[in-house]
Structure formats: C-alpha cells, structure tokens
Amino acid sequence: MIPLVAVAHGSRDPRSAATVRALARRVSAAAPELDVRVSFLDLSEPLVTDVLRDLVREGHRSAVVVPLLLGSAFHARVDLPALVAQVPGLRVTIADVLGAALSDVAFDRLAAVADVDDPSLGVVLAAVGSSRAAANEAVASLARSWQARHGFRAVAAFASAAKPDVPAAMAKLRARGARRIGVASWFLAPGLLPDRIASQARAVDPSVALAAPLADDPRVAELVLERYATALAGAVRSA
C-alpha cells in the first residue's frame, strides 16, 4: 500500500511530539497493513522532508501526506506544499487538514469538564491563531455553531497572531451574562501555546474549566485514515 505520512507542526515541548507519535500508533493499530510514518514541519524530528527522502531511498514512488493540522492556514497552504516540492522522485498527494470534522471531539472534551447544559455557561473556543483571517473565522464560526446548537454563549479566542485573546474573550462572555467559563481546546496536543492559554484563563478565573487537547480521542485516528483514503482515491482518479 502507498505509505501514509502524518505531518504535525512540531514543538519545542516534548509532550507534543509524544502525543503525535501515540496518535500514529493508534492509526497503525487500526490499519496494520498500512505503512504509517510520523513527521514534522519544524522543531521536532524527523522532518517531513527527511521522511519523504527515506521513502524515495526505499524505492517508493508515491505517498499520501496527512496534515495533522486543525486549520487551513499558512502551514497547510504554503509551508507543507513547499517542503513536499523539495523532494523529487516521489508522487505526493496532500490530504485535507483535519479541521471542523473534529468539532464533536472538541465539544465532548469540553463536556467532560463543564456542564454544557448550564445556561449560565460561557465557552471560549481557544485556538492557535493565524495571520490568515479565513482560518480564524473558521474557529469563530465553529464557536457560533456551538452556541446555536447548545444554547450557551460561545466565542473564539487565540493564543497568538489574532484577537481576542483568552482574557478578552472571557471578559466578553462575562459581559453577556456568563457566570461560569469553560475553555474548549482547538489543539491536538499539549504544548507551550495550550499552556499559555490555561495560564491566562486561570489568572482571570481560578475555577475555569479547561478541556483537554484532542489527539488521544479514537475518532482522531479514524479521521486520519479517512483523510488518507479520500486523498488516495483522488490520486487514483487523477492518475
């Protein structure tokens, strides 16, 4: 079978890479016939270019790269295609990012720590943030969909590159009548930015409910395989 190369952003925090590797093991366990390899864009090893070059050396002619990314921002749209282009001799198909398909996972993580049926709850959906407005709007749209579906107040917040930050989002929710705050995680893995969000939220409200990142939910591994299969089918049709 054509190898699946899972590529995450990478982080100086070793918990992040460890979480990504654990996710890859779950993907492998669900599809033991599939060659699943872990890679990173930056900051962690192995880099995606190194993994793709390994495949070329081993005689592979094709690969499917599945971005372990939640948004279609600079890393997905620019960085990853540019890195793939650095490796000749391999036909690489890049799958879609994981994105909004993980909405239910993020919501369930929130529900594990906060009473989502409480009408006084305010929810911050915390994400990394991007210089691309459309990527930030996708997070804000997800927060609005939760609000419409579940009845609690919900706003997006960002760790960097975009506004509002978490304290500002919490203040907005308080102004709209929220008496309790839950912070939902739009991150796959623990790391420096999720820690920053947690610290900021606790500084405002020590009783804030903080949801866990998403990667160790079984549905994430299932989605990785779905993205692989969809990309592979498209590659076959275009061949």
- pLDDT score, position 227: 98
Residue 142 inside a domain? The answer is yes
Q: Are 72 and 22 contained in the same domain?
A: yes
Q: What are phi and psi of 115, to 5 degrees?
A: -80, 95
**Which residue range is the domain that position 84 belongs to?**
4-99+216-238
Quick check: bond before 46 cis, omega within 30?
A: yes
* pTM greater than 0.85: yes
- Total number of domains in the chain: 2
- CA–CA separation, 22 and 136 (whole Å): 28
Higher pLDDT, 73 or 139: 139
Q: Are 202 and 146 contained in the same domain?
A: yes
Looking at residues 103-116, what average pLDDT do you find?
98
Asked if 166 contacts 126 with a C-beta cutoff of 8 angstroms, the reply is yes
Q: Are 227 and 193 contained in the same domain?
A: no
Q: Are 205 and 117 contained in the same domain?
A: yes
Q: Are 55 and 92 contained in the same domain?
A: yes
Q: Are 191 and 146 contained in the same domain?
A: yes
Across all residues in the chain, what is the average pLDDT?
A: 96
pLDDT digits (tens, 9 = 90+) for 12-57: 999 999 999 999 999 999 999 999 999 999 999 999 999 999 999 9
- HSE-up of 196 (CA within 13 Å, CB side)? 15
Q: Which residues contact 86 (CB under 8 A, 6 or more apart)?
A: 49
Q: Are 14 and 72 contained in the same domain?
A: yes
Residue 108 inside a domain? The answer is no
- pLDDT score, position 239: 56
Residue 105 inside a domain? The answer is no
Check which CATH number belongs to the domain holding 130 and give it: 3.40.50.1400
Q: Are 201 and 227 contained in the same domain?
A: no
Q: Are 117 and 184 contained in the same domain?
A: yes
- pLDDT score, position 214: 98
- Say yes or no to pLDDT of 226 above 70: yes
Q: Are 223 and 205 contained in the same domain?
A: no
- pLDDT score, position 238: 63
Q: Are 204 and 224 contained in the same domain?
A: no
Q: Are 46 and 89 contained in the same domain?
A: yes
- In this prediction, residue 235 has a pLDDT band, given cuts at 50, 70 and 90, of confident
- In this prediction, residue 211 has a pLDDT band, given cuts at 50, 70 and 90, of very high
- Say yes or no to pLDDT of 80 above 90: yes
Residue 106 inside a domain? The answer is no
Residue 206 inside a domain? The answer is yes
Q: Provide, rounded to the nearest whole percent, the portion of the chain with pLDDT above 70.
A: 98
